[in-house]
Amino acid sequence: MKRRSSVSLLVVAGLLLCAPAPGFAQQEKKPNPFNAEIVGQAQKLYGLEFNEAERDSALENLADQFENYLKIRAFALPNSVPPAILFNPIPLGFQFEKEKKSFKKSETPRIAVPKNLEDLAFASVGQLAQLIRTRKITSLQLTTMYLNRLKKFGPKLECVITLTEDLALKQAKRADEEIAKGKYRGPLHGIPYGVKDLLSLKGYKTTWGSVPFKEQVIDEDATVIKRLLQAGAVLVAKFTMGELAMGDVWYGGRTRNPWNYNQGSSGSSAGSASATAAGLVGFAIGTETLGSIVSPSTRCGVTGLRPTYGRVSRAGAMALSWSMDKIGPLCRTVEDCALVFNAIAGPDGIDQTVHDAPFNYDPKVDWKTLRIGYLKMDFDSARGNRAGNDSVLAVLRKLGAKLTPITLPKIPVENLRIILSAEAAAAFDDLTRSGKDDSMVRQMKGAWPNSFRSSRFIPAVEYLEANRIRYLVIQEMQKLMSGIDVYVAPSFGGSNLLLTNLTGHPCVVLPNGFTKEGTPTSITFTGQLFGEAKLLAAAKAFQDATDYHLKYPKLEEN
């Protein structure tokens, strides 16, 4: 594999202008590889204007900095090592809810065991849990049924990277033994699930959906997988993801939307959404940095929770953007998301960004006290699904909600995408410098290889300046959210998706209709920081008043 030269003067000079001050003393005086002309050309990349004397004065510092880069690059930095600078989404004056209350789930309507167990494929976690708890079905029966469906429909959907069959059968048998002895762990006990293949699992490949990593084995269990093991859930598969968490194209193909096999499932939690929508698991785990739960949940018609930044440990997960990555569940119902979130949330002593905040979920909604806003401008300007979006407001009003029109902070956030770009380039810097990015599947201008290379020219100063603006956005969002508990918005259009991923606010995305072509559409509920309890309760009330989540796609066998 070729290695890109690190002494190309124009490239290096471009990188130098965004570097920190020298940190290592130079032992010997070496010839300076740079001159004022090179610096003059490089400064054009950044919109800077230094005169000849200023450029000449900088040459010695630039040479010193270049030596620092080489020494820094000599350190082996695996993707799992975070930067010492941790993102803090908490605004000035913010207070956590202090009292921790018991988790309250809805009363699940009784469900009978069908003659054909496969008729339970689309049942909710709550329904499946009721059958397992009362021992009307076993986890082994359920796990075997889902494994068979994964084998039957998974290849056509291109949604499975690794089937963890032996592990699943072992975990299912153990769950049945524990339940038979009266040791019931809770509503996830014995429930089969799958994870996006950026979560590490001992003894199995963790491919990140990417050619350079498709043989990678990370010898640890991600915290989320450990938490679900403690809850008694059964891991049946590792699902496809867009290569290095972009889109739905991975090294083995393109993950399909079960509603329309000619469409990709969107991404990057592509397999998690596709498999959940197709009834191949009880629930799945995905991640979001900028739409990777919202987008595939929309495309595939499932319900996804993107938790507050700092709610779920990312230990054992591939890092794309340390200040934006979040882990959350993709399920068939809002309350399923609450059940899974309750099991995976909380600090683990490894991920230092995680806060110990209570999750006091109660599905009952008091419409007299719950303050709900809606992004009026986004509803008015929505290009697609206008009728579906407006129907959401009508349903909420019928339920008793008093809706307040709101407007997001008038700070342009589109330019702050460089935060993600810079962090992603750092997370995969070795891939870029080694030239191994040439083996990745997607090579167009908008794909990661070109993005990583281009992002090498983002100045450190601009990265920090962007984060200073981000700080202001966080404070302005707190002012807005101090007057409401939850707000509703179209899932796409406007700045809401990018803004809330930058500020770390939680959201629930759930089906709200279908296009003329018969594919799902969605609506997004956004809550206060660490306000998942009220957020999920409000979204559940809407979902219970509709039936979009009860419709399922017709599947094609392999």
Looking at the annotation, which residues are catalytic? 196, 268, 292
SS3 520: strand
Sign, CA dihedral 294-295-298-300, equals: negative
* H/E element, 32: none
Tokens of 151: 């084998």
* H/E element, 236: strand 234-239
Closest CA to 216 of 174, 251, 268, 178: 251
Instruction: Determine contact, residues 422/226, Cβ cutoff 8 Å.
Output: no
Burial (Cβ within 10 Å: 0-12, 13-18, ≥19) of residue 123: buried
Q: Phi first, then psi: what are they for 527, rounded to 5°?
A: -115, 180
- For 469, residues 6+ apart whose C-beta sits below 8 A from its C-beta are 411, 416
* H/E element, 80: none
- For 419, residues 6+ apart whose C-beta sits below 8 A from its C-beta are 321, 323, 324, 463, 466, 467, 470, 502
Burial (Cβ within 10 Å: 0-12, 13-18, ≥19) of residue 105: middle
Tokens 């319900």 belong to residue: 303
How many residues are listed for the chain in this entry? 558
Q: Report the alpha-carbon distance of residue 92 to residue 106 in Å, rounded.
A: 35
Q: How many CA atoms are closer than 13 Å to the CA of 219, on its beta-carbon side? A: 0
Q: Report the alpha-carbon distance of residue 482 to residue 487 in Å, rounded.
A: 12
Closest CA to 255 of 243, 241, 276, 244: 241
Instruction: Determine contact, residues 338/346, Cβ cutoff 8 Å.
Output: no
